[in-house]
Amino acid sequence: MSRPRIAVAGFQHETNTFSPVPTRYEDFEASGAWPALTKETDIFAVFHGLNIPLGGFIDAARDEWDLVPILWSNAEPGGYVAQDAFDRIAAMICDGIAEAGALDGIYLDLHGAMVTDDFEDGEGELLRRLRDVVGPDLPIAVSLDLHGNLTREFVELASVLAIYRTYPHVDMAATGARAKLLLAQLLASGQPFAKAFRQLDYLIPLQAQSTMREPGERLYGLLPGLEGSAVACIDLAFGFPPADIHHCGSSVVAFGTEQAAVDHAADEMLKALQESESEFHNPLIPANAAVRQAMEIAATAGKPVILADPQDNPGAGAIGDTTGLLKALVQEGAKQACLGMLWDPETASKAHEAGVGSSFTASIGNCVPQPNCGALDVQVRVEALSDGKFLFTGPMYGGTHADLGSMAVLLILDDNSEVRVVVGSHRAQNADQAIFRHIGIDPTQQKLVAVKSAVHFLADYQPIAEEVVFAEAPGANPCQLDLIPFKRLRPDVRLGPNGPVYSSAAE
């Protein structure tokens, strides 16, 4: 019996429609915290063993199936994907699959929250174009990010979905492997799965979505128990709130052999979400108050206090260059404090020109001017330099080779504080201690460690933390959902748990 031939491809982007920086084709070509655009057989070498869905799928399938690698690309979360970039990469995938010869199935490593200049549902449009190539019946298994904003049309075009069940996303490779098992079930049966799709009627802010906190941990823990002989899988996508689209928000999907069974499983999960609404809360504290609280805790702590800056999290499409939390650290007289990574290619370049030990006047941050933001003008001393190439070691990124461009550690020269800031040249959230460690800062030896991240940092930083404090500072990842200026959201969705009801008439 011949081995199944399965084409594999990936196209990932999490689109923050409020970000002022558009996402271009060259952003998909470049490496950063993720691998660069990779084609054909190079995919096998690059993704083997990585905590990336495509890597998990390949490692689970390559001994049983003949895999036909097409292309994988990812760009750091940001603003709308330029239509020419989407069209170009989508064409590469569709043309590659068209030229692959006879196939038994397809696996796609997608995100679920891509928005292009022309399409609110980028993944749905990609699948529509792909169905035009392969027809309606070829099995297509898709893995998705937990933050997908899913549509009914997308679910109809896919044969089966597997969605991350952890945030921080430590199970990305495992989700790819789960997609392989689901595709194997489809190939063995020769019959399509029954499907169920449900949407929640309230939005959940990113900083409340962690599965290392409640109620996320409990809710995602319910999923395996809802699966059974007639329910092959059921998954929950918490959604990506900073996306001004009709279908923004949380959803439940279920697949299996019996329609009644998958409907029941989806309804049970939706019920659990509805009953948990009051358990979600917003932990943000204004930046200066957050720093004061962290300093008070650190005064008697044996471990560092971690300060998160979620509204300027590049991992959610923010720029990563705002200085609200950095200014608060200086203003409050923080000692043994560090912040990273702040995106500022110009300041990083000046630090490299000046050299270690040199001092200069820096205008830190505000590379892309935004409301209520501004640079921090200070004297700094260069303490360390890096080319930004290092190995991630934490649970989420571990094994991936970073390429963050020129980086520097700058000590802010201020008589009342001792604050170091790590600046870099390629946008990336700080979800891995290696961002500090590779350039000479040991986070465990600091009193305060500030990270530009919303939740992913918890996987690597919570184990070393005395406590975690979430600070509210300006940025392009708006976390106060009732203040987001939505214009396209569907009516009657609540803007946050127990929040006000959105109405398009309120524009």
Question: What's residue 309's pLDDT?
Answer: 98
341 contacts 426 by C-beta, under 8 angstroms: no
Average pLDDT over residues 31-56: 95
Average pLDDT over residues 469-494: 95
Residue-wise pLDDT for 204-215, tens only, equals 999 999 999 999
| Sequence ranges of the domains in the chain | 5-279, 285-479
Q: How confident is the model at residue 507 (pLDDT cuts 50, 70, 90)?
A: very low
Residue-wise pLDDT for 334-359, tens only, equals 999 999 999 999 999 999 999 999 99
Answer whether residue 104 shows pLDDT above 90: yes
Residue-wise pLDDT for 300-328, tens only, equals 999 999 999 999 999 999 999 999 999 99
Question: What's residue 55's pLDDT?
Answer: 97
**Percent of the chain at pLDDT above 90?**
96
Answer whether residue 62 shows pLDDT above 50: yes
Answer whether residue 499 shows pLDDT above 70: yes
Q: What whole-number distance in Å separates Cα of residue 385 and Cα of residue 355?
A: 8
Answer whether residue 152 shows pLDDT above 60: yes
pTM for this model (two decimals): 0.96
Enumerate the β-bridge partners of residue 140. 106
Answer whether residue 470 shows pLDDT above 90: yes
Enumerate the β-bridge partners of residue 379. 361
Alpha helices in 25-100 (DSSP H): 25-29, 42-47, 53-61, 83-98
Identify the CA nearest to 439 among candidates 340, 300, 343, 307: 340
Question: What's residue 503's pLDDT?
Answer: 87
Question: What's residue 1's pLDDT?
Answer: 66
Question: What's residue 505's pLDDT?
Answer: 52
Q: What whole-number distance in Å separates Cα of residue 268 and Cα of residue 264?
A: 6
Residue-wise pLDDT for 258-304, tens only, equals 999 999 999 999 999 999 999 998 889 999 999 999 999 999 999 99
Identify the CA nearest to 149 among candidates 506, 488, 375: 488
Residue-wise pLDDT for 164-191, tens only, equals 999 999 999 999 999 999 999 999 999 9
Query: How many whole angstroms from its chain centre is CA 253?
Result: 20
